[in-house]
Amino acid sequence: MPKRTRHISLKKKAEMVDAIIDHYIKVRKRKNFPKKIVEPVLKLVFPESHYIGRGFHKVVHAIYSRSFKRVIKISNFKSTNRDWDLYHRLPRTIRNLYFAKIYWHTKYCSLQKFGRKAVVPQVQLEKLKRRVKQYGLTDVRAENIRKFGKGFKIIDAYPART
């Protein structure tokens, strides 16, 4: 048995989302990621989820796994991979202190801890920005920060050009 089994069924569902999207791309001969079908596919595979937001790259839905709230993020292959790599630029010891935990990813989906929307105090914003800058994380803005318990964490960033 794998050590962590908690998210297996969600991951299997995410792999179904990948398969449906890939099938669509194939039969419709699409060159680009079919953003338009993401919403209906999510509704189909995760009927209990609900839309909470989108940015330039991702569509984000909230889902419950056991008693915990998570978000499932869907974006193209490049963006999904970039996010996973970016998250791992932070040393293990501080990773989950400053960045909302990303549990796993598939081709187009990733699962992250849910954070509440809250006004981000300027000092907190500056602190987070400063802490992750040395690891090449940029684009730390209020829209990319959420509240987790009493503290604030980054939910999305962008790699600095190297």
Ligand X SMILES: Nc1ncnc2c1ncn2[C@@H]1O[C@H](COP(=O)(O)OP(=O)(O)O)[C@@H](O)[C@H]1O
Q: Give the residue, chosen from 38, 45, 49, 58, that forms a contact with ligand X under the rule CB under 6 A.
A: 58
User: Whole-angstrom Cα distance, residue 131 to residue 162?
Assistant: 18
| Cα angle: 27, vertex 33, 35; to 5 degrees | 105
Question: If binding is defined by CB under 6 A, does position 114 make contact with ligand X?
Answer: yes
Q: Give the residue, chosen from 19, 37, 52, 125, that forms a contact with ligand X under the rule CB under 6 A.
A: 52
Amino acid at 90: L
Question: If binding is defined by CB under 6 A, does position 103 make contact with ligand X?
Answer: no
Q: Give the residue, chosen from 33, 42, 57, 106, that forms a contact with ligand X under the rule CB under 6 A.
A: 57
Q: Which stretch binds ligand X (CB under 6 A): 4-12, 17-25, 42-50, 113-121?
A: 113-121
Question: If binding is defined by CB under 6 A, does position 53 make contact with ligand X?
Answer: yes
Phi, psi of 5 (to 5 degrees): -110, -5
| Cα angle: 136, vertex 143, 41; to 5 degrees | 100
Q: Give the residue, chosen from 54, 95, 127, 147, that forms a contact with ligand X under the rule CB under 6 A.
A: 54
Selection from ligand X, Mg ion, none that 71 binds (CB < 5 to 8 A by kind) is ligand X
Closest-CA residue to 70 (of 11, 25, 129): 11
Residue with tokens 């974006």: 75
Whole-number minimum distance, CB 115 to ligand X, in Å? 4
